[in-house]
């Protein structure tokens, strides 16, 4: 059975890498052309494929992009799928990121809440912010204040709610471990606010 697509030529690969590296570094065509001592109109035609790359272009372009010629000639390195975010610990609350940061996207955390986070704030001080929260309790019993509701969430149970509803969550009679999914607003709010709330508990 024949392959459905033709392999990428060296010329196509270099043009692709040239665009990728320039965009990754936030460089304009003018900046790269100045560094490589290549006319900007020629550089534009090289990137778009309207002019073929010559061997004598490669060293100057690689130097302009602060990479080796091998890196410019080679394919883009495979991204590392492992999540390497460091755990965040404040006042008995620890959050382990389970997804890499992505602008505007959802992020997943494993969270361990210590017994310090047991006493909720007054009802009129419950947090409200844009977004949506989803949580799944792995171990321990979690208390969730959601509007006028006062709920106990047991291991194996999940909750999902709009964070425009006043809310708070903490422990009841021991540590709690859970998986949580936050949007950008929820992540910022929880990372900055949980510490101060835990310190009061």
The pLDDT, as a whole number, for residue 172 is: 95
Torsion angle, CA of 119/123/128/132, rounded to 10 degrees? 70
113: in domain: yes
Q: Which domain holds residue 46?
A: 10-73
Q: What is the DSSP letter of 12?
A: H
How, if at all, do strands 158-162 and 132-139 pair? antiparallel
pLDDT for res 170: 93
Cβ neighbours of residue 137 under 8 Å, at least 6 residues apart? 153, 154, 155, 156, 157, 158, 176, 177, 178
2 belongs to a structural domain:
no
Domain CATH number, residue 33: 1.10.260.40
User: In total, how many domains does the chain have?
Assistant: 2
- Is the domain of 92 the same as that of 25? no
Same-domain pairing of 25 and 51: yes
- Does 62 reside within a domain? yes
The one-digit pLDDT tens for each residue of the chain (201 residues) are: 444 455 667 778 888 888 888 888 888 889 988 988 888 888 888 888 888 777 778 888 888 888 888 778 775 555 678 887 788 887 668 999 898 765 446 789 999 999 988 999 999 999 898 888 999 999 999 999 999 999 999 999 999 999 999 999 999 999 999 999 987 666 556 655 554 444 444
Within a domain: 167: yes
Identify whether residues 107 and 184 lie together within a single domain. Answer: yes
Closest CA to 130 of 79, 81, 51, 183: 183
Amino acid 56: pLDDT: 79
On whether the pTM is more than 0.85, the answer is no
Please tell me the distance from the alpha carbon of residue 14 to that of residue 20, in angstroms, as a whole number: 10
Confidence at residue 165, expressed as pLDDT on a 0 to 100 scale? 95
The secondary structure of residue 184, as a DSSP letter, is H
């Amino acid at each position: 059975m024949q392959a459905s697509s033709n392999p990428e030529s060296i010329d196509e690969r270099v043009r692709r890498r040239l665009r990728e590296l320039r965009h990754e570094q936030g460089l304009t065509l003018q900046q790269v052309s100045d560094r490589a001592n290549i006319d900007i109109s020629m550089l534009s035609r090289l990137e778009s494929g309207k002019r073929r790359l010559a061997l004598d272009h490669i060293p100057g372009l690689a130097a302009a992009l602060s990479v080796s010629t091998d890196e410019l000639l080679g394919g883009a390195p495979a991204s590392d799928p492992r999540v390497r975010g460091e755990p965040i610990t404040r006042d008995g609350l620890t959050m382990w990121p389970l997804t890499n940061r992505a602008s505007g996207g959802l992020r997943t955390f494993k969270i361990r809440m210590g017994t310090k986070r047991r006493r909720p704030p007054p009802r009129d001080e419950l947090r409200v912010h844009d977004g949506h929260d989803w949580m799944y309790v792995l171990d321990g019993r979690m208390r969730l204040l959601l509007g006028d509701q006062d709920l106990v969430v047991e291991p194996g149970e999940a909750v999902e709610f709009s964070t425009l509803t006043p809310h708070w969550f903490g422990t009841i009679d021991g540590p709690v471990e859970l998986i949580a999914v936050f949007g950008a607003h929820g992540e910022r709010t929880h990372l900055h606010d949980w510490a101060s709330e835990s310190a009061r508990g």
